């Protein structure tokens, strides 16, 4: 079936649909990963976005039951150059077409994704609409104009869990699992939970809007602020709640959690031109001088200059993005808090930054012993 993609700037792409048939609008971004399309599709941080894969051939290894980052496909739409319905992999259970159909997600193929990526890179991420129902551009433009902008959108409320649950309850009686971590779910990836489990933490996951006193009543040894979608400045309730938790327990933030922590301390965030989405972003660890290849998925960043507005609180920038010098890590030693913009759990991606989960354990130990960082 034919499909059409209309961008906010008026550019039109005509191609073929695969997956669900219908119409969907969202912010169009591109991801530079060569593999891992199933993890990308199920990453809650992509909620509300239409993802373009820069790698030209997608679908050749199918879809399995293991490589997921949430229980459903989270992207609004999916754009590829060449789609493979015939897959070959010993773990595969179905084609990506059937996977998208099951999750009511529209895909479009046979368009020039190099041209599309270049437009986004030069003009910035913008809204787009995919339709298999009509090629009437004036009608599509009217619907696209009515679609909300990413700036100002709280998308966390659509991806957070409904109630508190224990992720690895069977490990709670294991003596090797010494510390209890509360994960505030702003759209947490499964692999973050798996990495915490591998680091031998007991894990309780709580909704994004939970009150600070309820978290403290769980008596955690540390708190993790997870990744998630949308504009961090729009998640007002989370910013307020985090501000009331800082200093009371060691806190570790990842991606959106990194941004929310900075906002809670008085800093500001801003929207990047086209965001960071992919599994090959170089980040410099300023303490070691080493360059780590990281996985990233965010459209906003912490404003370096605004950090100076954090009065009477010491902070240290720990990591920098070597592509554009944006902040990739901040440490707040006086309150035993730190955060990273990139994804140390990868999934898909390299393992260079996995050590950051071990840092959490060190923060907790020093906090308990009253040792300054």
201 and 125 share a domain?
A: no
201 and 160 share a domain?
A: yes
* Tens of pLDDT, residues 42-52: 999 999 999 99
58 and 186 share a domain?
A: no
132 and 160 share a domain?
A: no
Residue 347, in any domain of the structure:
yes
125 and 53 share a domain?
A: yes
From 146, 172, 191, the end of a domain falls on 146
Residue 176, in any domain of the structure:
yes
160 and 133 share a domain?
A: no
* Tens of pLDDT, residues 218-275: 999 999 999 999 999 999 999 999 999 999 999 999 999 999 999 999 999 999 999 9
pTM above 0.85, yes or no: yes
Residue 20, in any domain of the structure:
yes
213 and 294 share a domain?
A: yes
From 111, 146, 181, the end of a domain falls on 146
User: What per-residue confidence (pLDDT) applies to 164?
Assistant: 98
CATH of the domain at 117: 3.50.30.20
User: What per-residue confidence (pLDDT) applies to 347?
Assistant: 82
pLDDT confidence bin for 99, thresholds 50/70/90: very high
* Tens of pLDDT, residues 279-337: 999 999 999 999 999 999 999 999 999 988 776 789 999 999 999 999 999 999 999 99
328 and 186 share a domain?
A: yes
108 and 201 share a domain?
A: no
Q: Which residues are catalytic?
A: 255, 343, 345
Residue 151, in any domain of the structure:
no
For residue 210, the tally of other CB atoms under 10 A from its CB is 20
Report the number of distinct structural domains present in the chain: 2
Place of tokens 């991420």: 125
- Averaged pLDDT score across all residues of the chain: 96
CATH of the domain at 234: 3.40.50.880
* Cα angle for residues 172, 190, 203 (degrees, 5° grid): 20
From 146, 180, 207, the end of a domain falls on 146
pLDDT confidence bin for 349, thresholds 50/70/90: confident
Name the residue among 181, 179, 287 with its Cα closest to residue 226: 181
Residue 61, in any domain of the structure:
yes
Distance from C-alpha of 346 to C-alpha of 138, rounded to nearest angstrom = 41
Q: Taking each helix axis from N to C terminus, what angle separates 256-264 and 236-245, rounded to the nearest 10 degrees?
A: 70
Q: 3-state DSSP: the chain helix, strand, coil percent, rounded to 5? A: 25, 30, 40
* Cα angle for residues 175, 218, 353 (degrees, 5° grid): 65
Residue 17, in any domain of the structure:
yes
171 and 87 share a domain?
A: no
Domain coverage including residue 330 = 156-369
160 and 247 share a domain?
A: yes
280 and 360 share a domain?
A: yes
Residue positions counted in the chain: 373
């Amino acid at each position: 079936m034919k499909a059409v993609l209309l961008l906010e700037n008026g550019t039109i792409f005509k191609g073929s649909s695969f997956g669900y048939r219908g119409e969907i609008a969202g912010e169009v971004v591109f991801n530079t990963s060569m593999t891992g399309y199933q993890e990308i599709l199920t990453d809650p941080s992509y909620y509300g976005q239409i993802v373009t894969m820069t790698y030209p051939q997608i679908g050749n290894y199918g879809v399995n039951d293991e490589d997921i980052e949430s229980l459903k496909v989270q992207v609004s739409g999916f754009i590829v150059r060449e789609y493979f319905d015939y897959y070959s992999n010993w773990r595969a259970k179905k084609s990506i077409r059937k996977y998208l159909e099951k999750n009511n997600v529209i895909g479009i193929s046979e368009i020039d994704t190099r041209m599309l990526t270049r437009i986004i890179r030069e003009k910035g991420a913008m809204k787009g609409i995919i339709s298999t129902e009509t090629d009437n551009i004036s009608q599509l433009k009217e619907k696209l104009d009515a679609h909300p902008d990413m700036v100002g959108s709280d998308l966390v409320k659509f991806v957070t869990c409904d109630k508190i649950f224990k992720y690895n309850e069977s490990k709670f009686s294991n003596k090797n699992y010494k510390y209890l971590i509360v994960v505030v779910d702003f759209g947490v990836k499964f692999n973050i939970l798996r990495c915490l489990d591998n680091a031998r933490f007991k894990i309780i996951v709580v909704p994004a809007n939970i009150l600070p006193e309820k978290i403290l009543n769980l008596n955690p040894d540390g708190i993790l602020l997870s990744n998630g979608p949308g504009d961090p400045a729009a998640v007002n309730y989370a910013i307020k709640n985090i501000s009331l938790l800082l200093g009371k327990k060691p806190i570790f933030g990842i991606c959106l959690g990194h941004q929310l922590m900075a906002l809670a301390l008085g800093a500001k965030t801003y929207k990047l031109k086209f965001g960071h989405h992919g599994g090959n972003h170089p980040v410099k660890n300023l303490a070691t001088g080493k360059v780590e290849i990281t996985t990233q998925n965010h459209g906003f960043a912490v404003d370096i200059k605004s950090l100076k507005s954090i009065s009477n609180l010491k902070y240290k920038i720990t990591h920098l993005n070597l592509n554009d010098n944006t902040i990739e890590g901040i440490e707040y030693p006086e309150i035993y808090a730190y955060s990273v913009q990139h994804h140390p759990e990868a999934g898909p991606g390299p393992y260079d930054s996995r050590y950051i989960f071990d840092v959490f354990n060190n923060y907790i130990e020093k906090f308990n012993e009253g040792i300054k960082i």
